[in-house]
Amino acid sequence: PVDLSTGSLTADRTRVQTPDPSTPPAVLEAVRQLVNTDDSDGAVGITIPGVVISGVVKTASNIDKAWVGLDARYMFSESLARPVTILNDADAAGVAEARFGAGKDVRGVVLLLTFGTGIGSALLVDGVLVPNTELGHLEFRGDIAEGYAAARLVKRESASIEWWAKRVDELLSYIELLLSPNRIIIGGGISKRFEEFVGFLHTDAELVPAGLRNNAGIVGAAMAAEEDAS
């Protein structure tokens, strides 16, 4: 549950492991467990790491392929018996950062990049989201951007943060060439370590860590759910 006047969580965050394989029925069961811990019947916001258009999932890079083409809004709302809104995970973080966090009151082009298992992107112009940008899938250095510079590489290859940050720097300079953002917000779990890697990044845009840290997606999902319900 989220207080949408402040953007803060009103209960401790509950975490359940993403099922493996992350098929729709398995994830639905995990979501049901989560939602059942809340005794209200309010609207539910759910984020998916893929393109989502009108509740239908269009891509699934890091989750089970059975999601592609699925009307996830229908599936979840039928099963949970509550109004459900579905949106991309990075887009959710982006709208939350724009209202309450590192993008608050910033005019012009703001780009949030989330670094985790993949790279997610949210592009906002004067606070208005351009939904479903997928900058993690830009072709880059013989790979795609998230293959080249996702934060999972730091763990998987026990690589140094400096090695990873230099790759991110190359990617950011390419993205700047394409989009000329005024501000770039770095999100995802690794943004906790922003001070350790910011020195390796050389952007023209102002570079800031996400203000809501890992709660941004939750807050953005709640914002979207409320907007749809009203």
Residues at the site binding ligand BGC, with contacts judged by CB under 6 A: 49-51, 59, 61-62, 88-90, 114, 118, 120, 134, 136-137, 146
Please state the closest distance from residue 109 (CB atom) to ligand BGC, in A.
Answer: 18
Please state the closest distance from residue 118 (CB atom) to ligand BGC, in A.
Answer: 3
Q: Nearer to ligand BGC by C-beta: 49 or 55?
A: 49
* DSSP output for 58-123: ---SSS-GGGTT-BHHHHHHHHHTS-EEEEEHHHHHHHHHHHHSTTTT--SEEEEEEESSSEEEEE
Neighbours of 137 (CB within 10 A): 17
Q: Nearer to ligand BGC by C-beta: 82 or 193?
A: 193
Please state the closest distance from residue 179 (CB atom) to ligand BGC, in A.
Answer: 16
In the block, tokens 């992350």 appear at 22
Q: How far apart are CA 84 and CA 79, in angstroms?
A: 10
- Bridge partners (DSSP) of residue 209 are 186
Q: Nearer to ligand BGC by C-beta: 137 or 193?
A: 137
Give ∠ CA 223-28-131 in degrees, rounded to 5.
35
* DSSP output for 30-67: HHHHHHHT--S---EEEEESS-EETTEE---SSS-GGG
Q: Nearer to ligand BGC by C-beta: 61 or 79?
A: 61
Please state the closest distance from residue 132 (CB atom) to ligand BGC, in A.
Answer: 8
Q: Nearer to ligand BGC by C-beta: 101 or 136?
A: 136
Please state the closest distance from residue 188 (CB atom) to ligand BGC, in A.
Answer: 8
